[in-house]
Chain A
Amino acid sequence: MARNQTAFITFSMVDGTSNEKKLIQDAVRGMSSAFGSLYDRYQPMIYRFVFVKVGRREDAEDLTHQVFISAWTNIRSYKDLGHPFSSWLYKIARNQIIDHYRARRNETSLDEMDPENFVEAAAAEAGTATKMEVEKVRRAIKALKPDYQDVIIMRFVEDLPLKEVAKAMDRTEGAIKLMQHRAIKELKKLL
């Protein structure tokens, strides 16, 4: 029974990977429906990544939208080098966030100081205590260095493997391991 279940899971994963490859190939050829499927699959993940880093729902929506616009308009230059598609999207998202902060460097955001700014959906199914905890952690993450933020989100929120995070951040797996250790240590200090 357990063996059958394992075989089914393995088959599903292989099937999912090949299906994703097909979707990517079709999207590169310009098929909008294929890119639409990729959008459905990756949009929540990118949105979370952006939201935790910028802290404002409106900004997160704008930036997520920009990430996918940029991905779709440049899809024909995408080369499948064996890296996950999400790594490419994360790279675009990181660049969009850098541009966003560069443009807003001199702006003072009152929203960021507002404790009610946190999106309600973040802990929709959790109690108030959990909601407060989550908000506290989110704020602590935001206080970290951008690279530490990225590692924490990708590794501990999204559960991405080291290899994928390394590709998204253009670092070695060893560097990511070291970075995640330091990031957690820093985060604990902030909490």
Chain B
Amino acid sequence: MNLFETLKNLKNIEPDPAFKEQSKRAVLAVMPAAPAWNARRVLFRIVETGAAVALTGFFVLLITGSLSSSRLAPVQYSAIDPASLHAEAQAIDMQIHLAQLDYTTSAAESTPVTASAVKPSTRKPVVAAGVAAASSTATSTATTTLSLDEALQALSN
């Protein structure tokens, strides 16, 4: 008897076809179980989703940001456009300047110069008071009381 040949003959064993069909139907009628959830898996899912969202956001910003300088940009971001930023800055500066001017004028009108101690000859108009005036008053005995705004205005002229 050839042992290996005989062992090969065992391959002729086949299940009963009726059993095979019946068993197959019964097996497939069962629903596969959902995979078990555990803390590690949940944590992994959260990290995975968070990383995906963060990466997507980063790439969206990167792409739209790099395109914003070109004319092909689908969306124009004024916040990252140097020209518009500069214009905006200029406008803000102008507004402050005008507001300051207005305040200076009103301050000049409302704040009288205390001229009691000032000699008439040394009195000068408020508008003329400047660096030169300041230096001249430093040598003279006359003192002129100016508001801070007036002084700054005079210095800037």
- In whole angstroms, what is the CA distance A157 to B32 when docked? 31
Query: In the complex, how many residues of chain A place their beta carbon closer than 8 angstroms to a beta carbon of chain B?
Result: 46
- In whole angstroms, what is the CA distance A126 to B13 when docked? 11
Q: How many whole Å from A186's CB to the nearest CB in chain B?
A: 12
Contacts of A133 in B (CB 8 A): 1, 6, 9
Q: How many whole Å from A158's CB to the nearest CB in chain B?
A: 7
Of A43, A69, A124, A157, which contacts B15 at CB under 8 A? A43
- Which segment, of A74-82, A93-101, A169-177, faces chain B? A74-82
Docked-complex contact B26 and A191, CB < 8 angstroms = no
Residue of B nearest to A131 (CB): B9
| Residue with the greatest number of chain A CB neighbours at <10 A, chosen from B8, B27, B28 | B27
Of B1, B28, B33, B34, which contacts A35 at CB under 8 A? B28
Q: Is B12 an interface residue (CB 8 A)?
A: yes
Q: How many whole Å from A136's CB to the nearest CB in chain B?
A: 8
Q: How many whole Å from B118's CB to the nearest CB in chain A?
A: 97
Docked-complex contact A121 and B3, CB < 8 angstroms = no
Contacts of B11 in A (CB 8 A): 48, 157-158
Docked-complex contact A76 and B34, CB < 8 angstroms = yes
Using A76-B34, A123-B12, A157-B7 as known contacts, say yes or no to A32 and B28 having CB atoms under 8 A apart: yes
Docked-complex contact A48 and B13, CB < 8 angstroms = yes
Docked-complex contact A157 and B16, CB < 8 angstroms = no
Docked-complex contact B24 and A122, CB < 8 angstroms = no
Interface string of A132-166 (1 = CB under 8 A from B): 01100110000000000000110011100000000
Using A156-B4, A157-B7 as known contacts, say yes or no to A122 and B23 having CB atoms under 8 A apart: no
Contacts of B26 in A (CB 8 A): 65, 69
Docked-complex contact A73 and B6, CB < 8 angstroms = no
Q: How many whole Å from A50's CB to the nearest CB in chain B?
A: 10
What would be 24 A-B contacts, judged by CB atoms less than 8 Å apart? A32-B28, A36-B28, A39-B27, A39-B28, A43-B23, A44-B14, A47-B14, A48-B14, A64-B15, A65-B27, A68-B23, A73-B32, A76-B33, A76-B35, A121-B12, A123-B12, A133-B1, A133-B6, A153-B10, A156-B4, A156-B7, A158-B11, A187-B3, A188-B3
Q: Which residues of A contact B (CB under 8 A)?
A: 30, 32, 35-36, 39-40, 43-44, 47-48, 51-52, 57, 60-61, 64-65, 68-69, 72-77, 119, 121-126, 130, 133-134, 137-138, 152-153, 156-158, 184, 187-188, 191
